[in-house]
Structure 1
Amino acid sequence: MTSPANLPGWRHVYSGKVRDLYVPEDLPADTRAERMLVVASDRVSAFDHVLEPGIPDKGVLLTTLSLWWFDRLATGAGAERGIPNHLLADHVLDGDGAREVIPAEVAGRAMLVRGLSMQPIECVVRGYLTGSGWAEYEAGGTVCGIALPPGLRNGDRLPQPIFTPAFKAPMGEHDENISYERMVQIVGADLAARLRDLSLEIYRRAAGIAEVRGLILADTKFEFGLDDAGVLTLADEVLTSDSSRYWDAAAWQAGSTPSERMASFDKQIVRDWLAANWDRTGTPPALPADIVARTAARYRELLARLTA
C-alpha cells in the first residue's frame, strides 16, 4: 500500500512521507478529532523525498514494532514508571463479542489513537555519533551546538546521550534543528524540560532493552502531545526502523571501519545507495530491486530480534 485508501467510516485528512491520517467521516469541519486512524504505508523516504518503489510490508512491520514498544513502555518495570501513549483499543464490545474498529483494508498497518495537542518539537536523542551529527562534529566539534570531546570517530558512543530538538516545520517545509534555548522560547521552560527529560528516559530504557537483544539503539526521535488533562503523551510512531538507527552490537564491537561498525537495521541501505547514485537535484532515481529486498529483510530481522 503506497497511496491513501478509501476507508468506510473514515475521512482522509493528511498524508506525510510515510503515514496517512484519517478522522471519522462525520466529524464536523474545524473540530478536533477525539480519535484518529494512523495508517503506515509502504512508502520510503530519504533526503526529504518519497522514493519509488515502496518497501513491501513496511507499514505492517513499522506498526507492529511501534505497538510492541508502546506496550513495553506503558507497563514499566520495577521502579520505572509507565509512559502514557496515544493508543486506543482497536476492538469494541458488540453484543456478546468484540468487533474490530480498524477497517479490514488497513488491518495490521493502522493504529487507532487519541487526538492530542501535538507539540511542534521533534525530540531527538543521540547516544552515538553518526549521520548529520558526525558531519557537524567533523566540521567544528559539536552536534547541534553541543560541544563534544575531541578525537571521536564516526560511530563512537557518546559520553552520555544528548537531547537535540528540532522544530517541526509547516507541511512542505524542512524541519529545523534548534537549540534547547530556542525550544524554551517555543514551548516554555517547564514543558521543554519535561520533553527533554522524558525523551532521555525513554531512550535509556529502550537502549537497555535493545542491548539485551544484541542491538545498539544509536539514535531515535520522539513526538509528544498533551491530552486534555495536560498529561505529556507519547505519540506517532516509536522506536521503529524509520525513526531510529539500530546497529548490530557484535559488528560494532568488531568493526574497524564505519560501514563495518554500523551494520544497520533501518533504511541506511537506501540512504547509502541514493547518496552514491543521485546528486540531490531533480527527481530521485527508482530504487533497484536488490536495495528494496535488502531493506525489507533488515526491517524484518530487526522486528524478529527485538520481539523474540
Structure 2
Amino acid sequence: MSNAVVETNIPGFPLKRGKVRDVYDLGEALIIVATDRISAFDYILPTPIPGKGKILTAMTNFWLDRLEEDYTHHRISCNLADMPPAFRERADILEGRTMLVRKTKVIPFECVVRGYLAGSGWKDYLATGAVCGHELPERMQESEQLPEPLFTPATKPESGHDINVSLEQMAETIDPELVEVLQAVSLSIYDDCAEYARERGIIIADTKLEWGLSDDGELVLIDEVLTPDSSRFWPADAYQVGMSPPSFDKQFVRDWLANSGWDKNSPPPPLPDEIVQKSAAKYQEALERLTRG
C-alpha cells in the first residue's frame, strides 16, 4: 500500500510505538501520529488501511471541538507549523494525522461505557446474566439497548486483552472520589455524543475513553475520542435486535479474520484488497455522517 503510512521515524525525539500511534516525547509535550496500522485480536495486522490515521485524527478533533466547552482535553494543536522543524519537514506524511498534546499523568484504566449488549458484554451476559457485575433483566437479546448505559472500567496492560474490573477494584488503585468523577464524566460524554450520533444515523453501541491528570490535578481527556477504533459504531438504518449489526468500526476486519481460518496465535494473514477498500470506505462514511451539518 504505497499511499499508506505504516510507521514514522522522526529523528531527535524519543519514540514509543503503539498498535496504531507513534508517540514522540518533546519533554513538556507529546506529538501523537496516527498511522494507518490496524490491530485486531491483539495483533498488528500486516496490511494497513490507507488514510485511516487521518480519519481517526479528524474524528477525534471533531469530538474535542464539540466537548471542549465542558471538558478539558490534552490537544494543543494539529497544525504542523506549531511543531518542531523535524515534523514540519515531513508534512508529506504527517499532515492531517499529527497532534501536539499536553503531557498528563495517565490514569491506568480504560473508561468503558456500554449502551448496548454487544461484544464481550453479550458473552458475559450469556454466561452470568450480568455485564461486568451489573445485573440485567432476563431474556435480553444480542445488540439490545441496555436499560441505561453502564460504566465498566478495564485495566490497560501493555499487551494482551483488557481486563474488566469493578469500581471497588478501581478504587484500590486510584482515589475513590476520582473513580466517581470518572464514572460521571464518562457517562455524560457518552450520553451527549450518542444522542448526537443517533441524529446522524449512527448508533454508538459502546466506547472507551481515556483520562489523565495535569500537574495541578485537573482531569484531562486524552488519546483518541469516539473513533471507530475506540468505539462500536452501527448504522441506525440496519440495526436489529437479536443480531450483530454491520458496523463502521474494525469489527468488519475482525469478522473476516475470524472466518479466515487464522488460529489467532500466529502472525495474522494479510487482508485482501476488497477488505481493505471496504474498511477504508466504512471509516470515511462514519466521519462524513458525523461531521455533516
- Fold similarity call, TM over 0.5: yes
The SS at the match of 1:151 is coil
Distance (whole Å) between structure 2 residues aligned to residue 21 and residue 155 of structure 1 = 35
Deviation larger for 12-21 or 122-131: 12-21
Which residue number corresponds to residue 290 of structure 1? 274
Which residue number corresponds to residue 118 of structure 1? 106
Contact 1:122 1:165 in 2 (8 A): yes
Equivalences for 1:145-156 in 2 at 5 Å? 145-156=133-144
- Aligned partner of 1:5 among 3, 8, 29: 8
Contact 1:12 1:20 in 2 (8 A): no
Deviations 1:258-287 (A, max 9, x none): 14xx12111111011111112212111111
Q: Cα–Cα, structure 1 residues 288 and 193, in superposed 2: closer, same or farther, change >3 Å?
A: same
Q: Cα–Cα, structure 1 residues 58 and 146, in superposed 2: closer, same or farther, change >3 Å?
A: same
Distance (whole Å) between structure 2 residues aligned to residue 231 and residue 52 of structure 1 = 39
Distance (whole Å) between structure 1 residues aligned to residue 78 and residue 206 of structure 2 = 30
Q: How many residues align?
A: 282
Q: Which residue identity lines up with residue 10 of structure 2 in the other structure? A: L
The SS at the match of 2:259 is helix
Which residue number corresponds to residue 83 of structure 1? 71
Deviations 1:58-102 (A, max 9, x none): 000000000000000113xxxxxx11100113459xxxxxx4425
1:68 maps onto 2:62 in alignment: yes
Distance (whole Å) between structure 2 residues aligned to residue 62 and residue 12 of structure 1 = 23
Which residue number corresponds to residue 131 of structure 2? 143
Distance (whole Å) between structure 1 residues aligned to residue 5 and residue 37 of structure 2 = 5
Identity %: 47
Q: Which residue identity lines up with residue 213 of structure 1 in the other structure? A: R
Deviation larger for 62-71 or 103-112: 103-112
The SS at the match of 2:73 is coil
1:280 maps onto 2:274 in alignment: no
Distance (whole Å) between structure 2 residues aligned to residue 91 and residue 299 of structure 1 = 23
Note the C-alpha offset of 1:168.
1.3
Question: What TM-score, normalized by structure 1, do the two folds share?
Answer: 0.88
Q: Which runs of 5+ in 1 are unaligned?
A: 25-32, 76-81, 93-98
The SS at the match of 1:258 is coil
Distance (whole Å) between structure 2 residues aligned to residue 257 and residue 164 of structure 1 = 22
1:106 maps onto 2:105 in alignment: no
Which residue number corresponds to residue 133 of structure 1? 121
Equivalences for 1:16-27 in 2 at 5 Å? 16-24=18-26
Question: What TM-score, normalized by structure 2, do the two folds share?
Answer: 0.92
Deviations 1:113-171 (A, max 9, x none): 000010001000000000011011111111112111111111100000000000112x2
Q: Which residue identity lines up with residue 208 of structure 2 in the other structure? A: K
Contact 2:116 2:206 in 1 (8 A): yes
Contact 1:4 1:12 in 2 (8 A): no
The SS at the match of 1:70 is helix
Contact 2:246 2:252 in 1 (8 A): no
Distance (whole Å) between structure 1 residues aligned to residue 79 and residue 272 of structure 2 = 40
Distance (whole Å) between structure 1 residues aligned to residue 76 and residue 82 of structure 2 = 12
Contact 2:110 2:209 in 1 (8 A): yes
Which residue number corresponds to residue 171 of structure 2? 184
Equivalences for 1:194-205 in 2 at 5 Å? 194-205=181-192
Higher RCO by CA contacts (8 Å cutoff, separation 6 or greater) = 2
Distance (whole Å) between structure 2 residues aligned to residue 155 and residue 200 of structure 1 = 19
Contact 1:226 1:232 in 2 (8 A): yes
* Dislocated runs of 4+, deviation >6 Å: none
The SS at the match of 1:6 is coil
Q: Which runs of 5+ in 2 are unaligned?
A: none
- The CA RMSD over aligned residues, in Å, is 1.6
1:50 maps onto 2:44 in alignment: yes
Distance (whole Å) between structure 1 residues aligned to residue 25 and residue 67 of structure 2 = 26
Q: Cα–Cα, structure 1 residues 173 and 48, in superposed 2: closer, same or farther, change >3 Å?
A: closer
Which residue number corresponds to residue 243 of structure 2? 258
Q: Which residue identity lines up with residue 269 of structure 1 in the other structure? A: F
Which residue number corresponds to residue 287 of structure 2? 303
